Amino acid sequence: MSKVKVGIIGAGRIGKLHAENLVKLHRVELKAISDIFAEQVREWAGSIGIPHVTDDYKEILQDPDIEAVLICSPTDTHVPIITEAARAGKHIFCEKPISFQLEQTREALEVVKEAGVKFQVGFCRRFDHSLKKAHQTVKEGGIGEPHILRITSRDPHPPGKDYVAASGGLFFDMAIHDFDMARYLVGSEVEEVFAQGAVLVDPLFAECGDVDTAITTLRFKNGAIGVIDNSRKAVYGYDQRVEVLGAKGCVTVSNVTPTTAEISTAEGVFRDKPKYFFLERYNEAFIQEIADFIDSILFDKEVPVSGHDGFQAELIAMAAKKSFAENRPVKLEEISAVQSV
Amino acid sequence: MSKVKVGIIGAGRIGKLHAENLVKLHRVELKAISDIFAEQVREWAGSIGIPHVTDDYKEILQDPDIEAVLICSPTDTHVPIITEAARAGKHIFCEKPISFQLEQTREALEVVKEAGVKFQVGFCRRFDHSLKKAHQTVKEGGIGEPHILRITSRDPHPPGKDYVAASGGLFFDMAIHDFDMARYLVGSEVEEVFAQGAVLVDPLFAECGDVDTAITTLRFKNGAIGVIDNSRKAVYGYDQRVEVLGAKGCVTVSNVTPTTAEISTAEGVFRDKPKYFFLERYNEAFIQEIADFIDSILFDKEVPVSGHDGFQAELIAMAAKKSFAENRPVKLEEISAVQSV
Amino acid sequence: MSKVKVGIIGAGRIGKLHAENLVKLHRVELKAISDIFAEQVREWAGSIGIPHVTDDYKEILQDPDIEAVLICSPTDTHVPIITEAARAGKHIFCEKPISFQLEQTREALEVVKEAGVKFQVGFCRRFDHSLKKAHQTVKEGGIGEPHILRITSRDPHPPGKDYVAASGGLFFDMAIHDFDMARYLVGSEVEEVFAQGAVLVDPLFAECGDVDTAITTLRFKNGAIGVIDNSRKAVYGYDQRVEVLGAKGCVTVSNVTPTTAEISTAEGVFRDKPKYFFLERYNEAFIQEIADFIDSILFDKEVPVSGHDGFQAELIAMAAKKSFAENRPVKLEEISAVQSV
Amino acid sequence: MSKVKVGIIGAGRIGKLHAENLVKLHRVELKAISDIFAEQVREWAGSIGIPHVTDDYKEILQDPDIEAVLICSPTDTHVPIITEAARAGKHIFCEKPISFQLEQTREALEVVKEAGVKFQVGFCRRFDHSLKKAHQTVKEGGIGEPHILRITSRDPHPPGKDYVAASGGLFFDMAIHDFDMARYLVGSEVEEVFAQGAVLVDPLFAECGDVDTAITTLRFKNGAIGVIDNSRKAVYGYDQRVEVLGAKGCVTVSNVTPTTAEISTAEGVFRDKPKYFFLERYNEAFIQEIADFIDSILFDKEVPVSGHDGFQAELIAMAAKKSFAENRPVKLEEISAVQSV
């Protein structure tokens, strides 16, 4: 069986994660990784058998042997790299969000389309067994027409100030996964958004013009309504639950715990907190997401998460941001209108 | 031990329920019940030992022996009966809502205050063991400062058209319990409301100018934010869950099932749906609510749910209705302003 | 509707419990209660409206008005009182066990049979919603032919020395409920028993010639095998779980908790211990058991737990005791053989 | 970092599983695999990058480069291969059971001891997160002195006749994992065993002189008592639960499911069956067991599951077999006595 030759651009936490998953896939050859701090990753790269490390991502794009790239660099570099990679004929896996500027996202997607390469966005949660089952249940009519969507998505602790300042804000950095999940679960586009936010966890969010706590309500084109609650700090761990109520039933996904051990004492019954954070909870989903991307190349299949999916999630994030700023419901078409100017 | 002598006004479903609970309390003597269809309840009343049945509630108010009345008649009769009962020196337990008109509610409460009688509103959920524990946990600081409140409150099936037409609408008839629960759990007044609604269950709601599905977001004075989702039809039964996330933890209350039996077969693992409806789920809460009302009279203690609690819940319902109608967040002070004119 | 007139013999914990449940049933008139310490119960009896209290149970048996008696006196008085009551034509509800001597139990049951009165044994667990559902599931073929039965039955704390000394031992006093449950769930008689025991909780059990911890394995006539584990002390509360594995599935019943509240903190997820003890867990079952006994009189129906059921459970307890003493499996027919001499 | 060079003997289901896990470990070099049907595994071996495939395991033992071997061949070949491998100075990982003959097991372990090589037995369940947490909880005194052990261990479906005929029987083939788990959880050796068995699933077990359903009770040296129930067919999937009740609490481990999705409909609440079988449930445990074996070589640490552990589990299995055959409790010292002749 032929192997897909891959390069990774960006060796931060997420780039390394993908690298470690890729080297275990028999149908992949991970040829190179680039990072602006190449020296700092050289030893790690060697230990898992990546033959080439560079501080210039262009080397990867120019390597005619490499068929596909994973873009794991900072968000503000995504659009230029996507553009170059697509023009170089590389299939592209890009971490979310594609960009903070919808117009730029759209332009990048157009270049991708012209180039005819595969393009997948890193919404890893779609590959989680439980969330996939919820999606399938709704899709196959298992709960009838969807009426109410509920997502709870909370981090175990807030990131540092540097991260927050560059993150694009809670709606773009954190809730964007939930906006994608909302579309994925309900199977309909979002029409209108109302977002409430608050700074309750740490004043640093206010200093960065951001919030750390939010409730976003969504109105879908198919008539369903939904709500997402986000917090940057759930002291008991990464809280990831979804629920869709429909005309004929309700599907819920609850948290995953490291063990099923339960201890009963005179004080009460104690069990594990949820798995610590996204690396633990979505560990298998990250593996599956990359395996599916590789398969879409090998067998020329559609990618499971398209550029359209990336764009729509950003559109909702933009509407949420505007809604919060203006304390009023915002229609997605208002955003598109602004953008198309 | 002396017994409190009680009369009940209104022998519909809820009046009968209170009657059957009262006759089992050793410190109560249920002396009379009134209903405009007195003949239809006479046999039932005899079977549980209520000595007097009348079609004129004034007979109850005029009986000098009777110390307390339960007002279980239709909502539009509450205010005049409260006024008369208070003036007759009777302690009053009144079903929710007190009225559909905030100004009338306020006036009734003023008469009650002048008369110096006890006045309790029928928010029975506050007496549920689980919800009470959630309330206590928050109050005692068990989860730190509250950040996010989440309530799911869904009925197993929609009521009929007659009921809907006279109900005051989803926000006044159904969500009002959740508005009270929100205040009870978070321990703060509500400041602003945004309500989304939809008709997804049955077009009859649209015909009555009502909705059957709603998501209401709340902003509390203490900074917390919250969300309530309501549906008139959860086919799997009465869905009653609450959750408060705080700075130091999270408390959740899940559904109660008729049995804990679970059946595992080749198809999957099956367990009971939640208890069917409010009579089953809040059975013990109904008993406790009345027992506490009786104790507040016997031992001259404060009632556990005051007229202020009844008024606030109506205020939120009013704001939710307005918010839904105008598709914008509504501050509670806007409502008060209108009312004080 | 006519009322069944009832007397209670023995006003200890269980006698009082039945009395308080009976006075709430509209189709019962509780006429009298007897206790050798009559003075100590007189005030309580008055408070719940029992008109007559006596220290001589024969007064109850001689009252021609009384149709049924509840025998709640110490076990060693059961057989003579059953005999007298049956000869006096009273229907009988008798607490478990009927006696510690199988031959005496048999003789008492023969008198009952001759007298033609109703006779019900106090195996209250059969009336628990969850256990009844497990029974029904097995009976209706929901899990196919039963293969393995598992019962966990543990008390929250050990009784005092006086109680233990007079209890008949763990197998007769505590496990007898589980032996009945075993027959009820599997739907087959027991053929052979092997019992292991240990004193791990408190040396007082050894002093009384008893054990506080036991594992009893059962072989049923239908081929199924089963196991019961008992402890006199589960610090986390009354632990009552059952499970039947069959050819087509498995039914399990788990514990019931006072609330469904769950608190998640940085330390873990905490929830309630099981309901404290049998009064809490089987509260509704006690009510139902007496209501069903009353109905079997009123409507001349079969009692739900017969003298045969009482006898079989004692037979298993006897075999368990012998098995533990001799550290070998014991067939029930060995016990019968001894008895029939 | 240096790599441990490994060979695998036997490329059946379990040999392949270990191979696929080994090739993903960066500190291992899997050099060769042997199987008597070498041709049938050559393609698979190539696809995961094993350079050498042979039908003669002696080639592996003679390769001076190979430091460690995994013995995954049929049980009756274990002892001679262990002996040869130890004498060749190879560290050994051996699948369970070491043999069906205690005397042979003992002799093999003596050779291992003389050779001074590492020797680990394949009791993979000890590496499961949940079971390890239960073990740690008991060990650290979290539940006080152990009183009662309960293990439920059921397969999703019975193996075929060929497998059963060569398996050594339920106690040696299946329950042996549970016997090891019993010692691991309680932290004490077993003293006496009573085993009940039945053929309820499939008559083929009777034809092979085996049982398909069993309940085994254990008495431990520290005074605790325990019970294991086994079935070859739980239609709802692989059922793996353990529980230890102690003086200060109880620790339980429940099943693991593929997803946490739950679907509520008018019929009830449905969730996933447990993970299908041991490959799914103990997937991570298999990886960890081999990683720990490799580390014990690399860092010269004690192996986590010793030859003594393997021997003790076989001793219990032997006692269980004898107990079942003779329908009486059997002390382990009886078995040792027989063996030492």
DSSP D273: P
- Closest residue to B271, CB basis, from D237, D269, D272: D269
d(Cα D170, Cα C225) in Å, to the nearest integer?
16
Pairing of strands D261-265, D249-253: unpaired
By CB atoms closer than 10 A (0-12, 13-18, 19+), residue B301 is exposed
Verify whether the Cβ–Cβ distance C137 to B263 is below 8 Å: yes
Q: Which two three-digit tokens encode residue C247? A: 């050819």
Verify whether the Cβ–Cβ distance A272 to C271 is below 8 Å: no
User: Is residue D247 included in any domain, yes or no?
Assistant: yes
d(Cα A311, Cα C229) in Å, to the nearest integer?
59
Verify whether the Cβ–Cβ distance A249 to D256 is below 8 Å: no
Q: Which residue of B has its CA nearest to C134?
A: B261
Q: Which of A117, A143, A175 is the last residue of a domain?
A: A117
Residue B141, pLDDT score? 97
Verify whether the Cβ–Cβ distance A229 to B198 is below 8 Å: no
CA of C251 vs chain A CAs: smallest distance (Å): 20
Size of chain A in residues: 341
Check: CB of residue B102 under 8 Å from CB of residue B124.
Answer: no
CA of D241 vs chain A CAs: smallest distance (Å): 10
Other CB atoms closer than 10 Å to residue C132's CB: what's the count? 19
CA of D231 vs chain A CAs: smallest distance (Å): 22
- The predicted model gives D96-101 an average pLDDT of 94
User: Is residue B290 included in any domain, yes or no?
Assistant: no
CA of B200 vs chain A CAs: smallest distance (Å): 7
- Closest residue to C134, CB basis, from B47, B130, B261: B261
CA of D117 vs chain B CAs: smallest distance (Å): 46
- The predicted model gives C90-103 an average pLDDT of 96
DSSP B143: T
Q: Which two three-digit tokens encode residue C99? A: 């006696």
Please name the residue that has the structure tokens 């009262």. Answer: B22
Q: Which of C92, C117, C142 is the last residue of a domain?
A: C117
By CB atoms closer than 10 A (0-12, 13-18, 19+), residue D64 is exposed
Q: List the chains bordering chain D where 3 or more Cβ pairs fall under 8 Å.
A: A, B, C
User: Is residue D157 included in any domain, yes or no?
Assistant: yes
Interface test with D, best of C196, C205, C220 (most D CBs within 10 A): C196
Check: CB of residue A95 under 8 Å from CB of residue A71.
Answer: yes
- Closest residue to D147, CB basis, from C148, C152, C231: C231
Verify whether the Cβ–Cβ distance B272 to D271 is below 8 Å: no
Verify whether the Cβ–Cβ distance B250 to C260 is below 8 Å: no
pLDDT at position D158 over 80: yes
- Percentage of chain C lying above the pLDDT 90 cut: 97
Residue C1, pLDDT score? 61
Q: Chain B contacts of A236, Cβ < 8 Å?
A: 249-250
d(Cα A209, Cα A214) in Å, to the nearest integer?
14
Q: Chain B contacts of D238, Cβ < 8 Å?
A: none
Q: Which two three-digit tokens encode residue B218? A: 């709340």
Check: CB of residue C274 under 8 Å from CB of residue C236.
Answer: yes
Verify whether the Cβ–Cβ distance D236 to B271 is below 8 Å: no
User: Is residue A296 included in any domain, yes or no?
Assistant: no
Q: Which two three-digit tokens encode residue D55? A: 């039908």
Q: Are residues B106 and B140 both part of a single domain? A: no
Q: Which of A98, A117, A136 is the last residue of a domain?
A: A117
Q: Which two three-digit tokens encode residue C251? A: 């039914």
Q: Are residues D162 and D208 both part of a single domain? A: yes
Q: Are residues B185 and B320 both part of a single domain? A: yes
User: Is residue A22 included in any domain, yes or no?
Assistant: yes
Verify whether the Cβ–Cβ distance C235 to A266 is below 8 Å: yes
Q: Are residues B78 and B213 both part of a single domain? A: no
d(Cα A33, Cα A15) in Å, to the nearest integer?
9
DSSP C272: P
Question: CB under 8 Å to D206, separation ≥6 — which residues?
Answer: D199
- Percentage of chain B lying above the pLDDT 70 cut: 98
pLDDT one-digit tens code per residue, C144-200: 999 999 999 999 999 999 999 999 999 999 999 999 999 999 999 999 999 999 999
Verify whether the Cβ–Cβ distance A261 to D134 is below 8 Å: yes
- The predicted model gives B271-288 an average pLDDT of 95
Question: CB under 8 Å to B53, separation ≥6 — which residues?
Answer: B32, B33, B34, B35, B38, B41, B42, B45
Residue C2, pLDDT score? 83
Q: Chain C contacts of A277, Cβ < 8 Å?
A: none
DSSP bridge partners of A231: A154, A213
A283 alpha carbon, distance to own chain's centre: 13
Interface test with B, best of C260, C263, C280 (most B CBs within 10 A): C260
What are the DSSP calls for B276-306, one per residue? SSHHHHTHHHHHHHHHHHHHHHHTT---SS-
State how far the alpha carbon of D298 is from the alpha carbons of C13, D32, D95, in Å: 66, 19, 21
d(Cα C199, Cα C210) in Å, to the nearest integer?
8
CA of B281 vs chain D CAs: smallest distance (Å): 16
Verify whether the Cβ–Cβ distance B269 to D272 is below 8 Å: yes
User: Is residue A169 included in any domain, yes or no?
Assistant: yes
Q: Chain B contacts of C142, Cβ < 8 Å?
A: 263, 265
Q: Are residues A192 and A159 both part of a single domain? A: yes
Q: Taking an 8 Å Cβ-Cβ cutoff, which residues of chain A contact chain B?
A: 145, 147-148, 150, 152, 154, 194, 196-198, 200-201, 213-215, 217, 219, 223-227, 229, 231, 233-236, 239, 245, 247-250, 327-329
Q: Chain B contacts of D271, Cβ < 8 Å?
A: 268-269, 271
Q: Chain C contacts of B288, Cβ < 8 Å?
A: none
In a 13 Å sphere around the CA of B175, the CA atoms on its Cβ side amount to 34
CA proximity to C246, closest of D243, D213, D207:
D213
Number of domains chain C contains: 2
- The identity of residue D146, as a single letter, is P
Please name the residue that has the structure tokens 């009945």. Answer: C180
Q: Which two three-digit tokens encode residue A220? A: 């879908």
d(Cα A201, Cα A211) in Å, to the nearest integer?
9
CA proximity to B182, closest of B232, B222, B129:
B222
Residue D338, pLDDT score? 59
Q: Are residues A97 and A146 both part of a single domain? A: no
What are the DSSP calls for B145-200, one per residue? SEEEEEEEEE-SS---HHHHHHS--HHHHTHHHHHHHHHHHHTS-EEEEEEEEE--
- Closest residue to C269, CB basis, from A266, A267, A273: A273
Q: Which two three-digit tokens encode residue C214? A: 């036991």
Other CB atoms closer than 10 Å to residue B115's CB: what's the count? 19
Residue B336, pLDDT score? 75
Q: Are residues B190 and B112 both part of a single domain? A: no
A44 alpha carbon, distance to own chain's centre: 25
d(Cα A19, Cα A8) in Å, to the nearest integer?
7
In a 13 Å sphere around the CA of B67, the CA atoms on its Cβ side amount to 15
Q: Are residues C182 and C250 both part of a single domain? A: yes
Q: Are residues A87 and A206 both part of a single domain? A: no
Q: What is the mean pLDDT of chain C?
A: 96
Helices (H), C140-282: 161-166, 170-173, 175-186, 204-207, 278-281
pLDDT at position C341 over 60: no
Residue D92, pLDDT score? 98
CA proximity to D235, closest of D179, D156, D292:
D156
Verify whether the Cβ–Cβ distance A229 to B148 is below 8 Å: yes
> Which residue ranges in chain A fall short of pLDDT 70?
1, 337-341
Q: What is the mean pLDDT of chain A?
A: 96
Verify whether the Cβ–Cβ distance C225 to D231 is below 8 Å: no
Confidence class of residue B341 from pLDDT cuts 50, 70 and 90? very low
- The predicted model gives B11-19 an average pLDDT of 96
- The predicted model gives D10-19 an average pLDDT of 96
Query: Residue A192, SS3?
Result: strand
Q: Chain D contacts of C248, Cβ < 8 Å?
A: 235
Check: CB of residue B16 under 8 Å from CB of residue B33.
Answer: no
pLDDT one-digit tens code per residue, B221-241: 999 999 999 999 999 999 999
pLDDT one-digit tens code per residue, C50-64: 999 999 999 999 999
Host domain of residue C320: 126-281+312-340
CATH code: domain of residue C252: 3.30.360.10
d(Cα B191, Cα B177) in Å, to the nearest integer?
17
Q: Which two three-digit tokens encode residue B133? A: 């524990």
Check: CB of residue D284 under 8 Å from CB of residue D106.
Answer: no
Residue C336, pLDDT score? 76
Q: Are residues B110 and B202 both part of a single domain? A: no
Q: Chain A contacts of C265, Cβ < 8 Å?
A: 235-236
Q: Which two three-digit tokens encode residue D142? A: 């979290």
Check: CB of residue A247 under 8 Å from CB of residue A145.
Answer: yes
User: Is residue B295 included in any domain, yes or no?
Assistant: no
Check: CB of residue B116 under 8 Å from CB of residue B213.
Answer: no
Residue B339, pLDDT score? 59
Verify whether the Cβ–Cβ distance D236 to C223 is below 8 Å: no
Q: Which two three-digit tokens encode residue B3? A: 């017994």
Q: Which two three-digit tokens encode residue B151? A: 């309530």
Q: Are residues C318 and C266 both part of a single domain? A: yes
CATH code: domain of residue C74: 3.40.50.720
pLDDT one-digit tens code per residue, C37-89: 999 999 999 999 999 999 999 999 999 999 999 999 999 999 999 999 999 99
Q: Chain D contacts of C141, Cβ < 8 Å?
A: none
- Closest residue to C264, CB basis, from A268, A269, A273: A273
Check: CB of residue D230 under 8 Å from CB of residue D154.
Answer: yes
- The predicted model gives B31-45 an average pLDDT of 96
pLDDT one-digit tens code per residue, D284-312: 999 999 999 999 999 999 999 999 999 99
Verify whether the Cβ–Cβ distance A250 to B229 is below 8 Å: no
Q: Chain A contacts of C266, Cβ < 8 Å?
A: 235-236, 273
Interface test with B, best of A205, A232, A245, A273 (most B CBs within 10 A): A245
- The predicted model gives B147-158 an average pLDDT of 98
- The predicted model gives C293-321 an average pLDDT of 97
- Closest residue to D265, CB basis, from B235, B265, B266: B235
Q: Are residues C200 and C324 both part of a single domain? A: yes
Q: Which residue of A has its CA nearest to D255?
A: A260
- Closest residue to D266, CB basis, from B235, B267, B269: B235
Q: Chain D contacts of B266, Cβ < 8 Å?
A: 235-236, 273
Residue A2, pLDDT score? 83
Q: Taking an 8 Å Cβ-Cβ cutoff, which residues of chain C contact chain A?
A: 234-237, 264-273
Verify whether the Cβ–Cβ distance D47 to A26 is below 8 Å: yes
User: Is residue D291 included in any domain, yes or no?
Assistant: no
- Closest residue to B261, CB basis, from C26, C253, C262: C253
d(Cα C231, Cα C156) in Å, to the nearest integer?
9
Q: Chain D contacts of C327, Cβ < 8 Å?
A: 329
d(Cα D310, Cα C235) in Å, to the nearest integer?
34
